[in-house]
């Protein structure tokens, strides 16, 4: 569950149901999903910009980067308007493409300082984990 929750797109939306299917207790499922989703936040915030700068030399990455940039700009209006507080809302709402990874990219692209972004995204992950746990765990046991 920890590793599953650390993967992009899957995040806690997949980690908590997987834990329930494996018979893991509700509390353990929440804890492992939360920790797994928190793991990539700091590395993504710190490494996205320098790694992207290097990878932009390759055409296939440039296409991917442009696609991510456009999507983030469209979906990141609340982040751009509200800054770190917008990141909390962006991360907390458990909808597709609004998880920790997307919030990290929005934080980097909107130049939100690391500390503010890290704490806002982490808080949003706690909220999303709680919502998803309460809403989905009982469905899979």
Read off the pLDDT of residues 6-31 as tens digits, 9 standing for 90 and up.
988 889 999 999 999 999 999 999 99
pLDDT tops 90 at residue 127: yes
Cα→Cα distances 26→9, 19, 114, Å: 22, 8, 32
Contact of 92 with 128, CB cutoff 8 Å:
yes
Query: What 3-state class would DSSP assign to 113?
Result: coil
Structural tokens at position 15: 């980690």
pLDDT at 81: 83
Taking the C-alpha atoms of residue 57 and residue 59, their distance in angstroms, rounded to an integer, is: 7
DSSP E strands, the chain: none
pLDDT tops 90 at residue 112: yes
pLDDT tops 90 at residue 115: yes
Query: What 3-state class would DSSP assign to 97?
Result: coil
Average pLDDT over residues 39-66: 94
What average pLDDT is seen over the chain?
91
b/e code 98-137 from CB counts within 10 Å (16+ = b): bbbbbbbbbbbbbebeeeebbebbbbbbbebbeebbeebb
Query: Left if phi > 0, otherwise alpha if psi is -120 to 50, otherwise beta: which for 46?
Result: alpha
pLDDT at 79: 81
Query: What 3-state class would DSSP assign to 24?
Result: coil
CA-atom Rg of the chain in angstroms: 15
Taking the C-alpha atoms of residue 140 and residue 45, their distance in angstroms, rounded to an integer, is: 33
Average pLDDT over residues 91-112: 88
What is this structure's pTM? Answer: 0.89
Low-confidence winner among 71-85, 95-109, 111-125 (lowest mean pLDDT) = 71-85
pLDDT at 128: 95
């Amino acid at each position: 569950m920890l590793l599953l929750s650390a993967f992009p797109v899957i995040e806690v939306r997949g980690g908590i149901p997987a834990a329930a299917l494996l018979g893991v207790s509700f509390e353990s499922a929440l804890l492992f999903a939360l920790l797994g989703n928190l793991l990539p936040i700091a590395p993504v915030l710190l490494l996205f910009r320098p790694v992207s700068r290097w990878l932009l030399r390759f055409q296939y990455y440039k296409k991917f980067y442009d696609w991510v940039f456009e999507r983030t700009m469209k979906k990141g209006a609340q982040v751009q308007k509200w800054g770190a507080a917008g990141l909390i809302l962006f991360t907390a709402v458990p909808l597709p493409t609004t998880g920790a990874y997307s919030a990290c990219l929005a934080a980097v692209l909107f130049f939100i300082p690391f500390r503010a972004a890290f704490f806002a995204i982490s808080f949003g992950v706690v909220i999303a984990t709680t919502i998803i746990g309460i809403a989905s765990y009982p469905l899979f046991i």
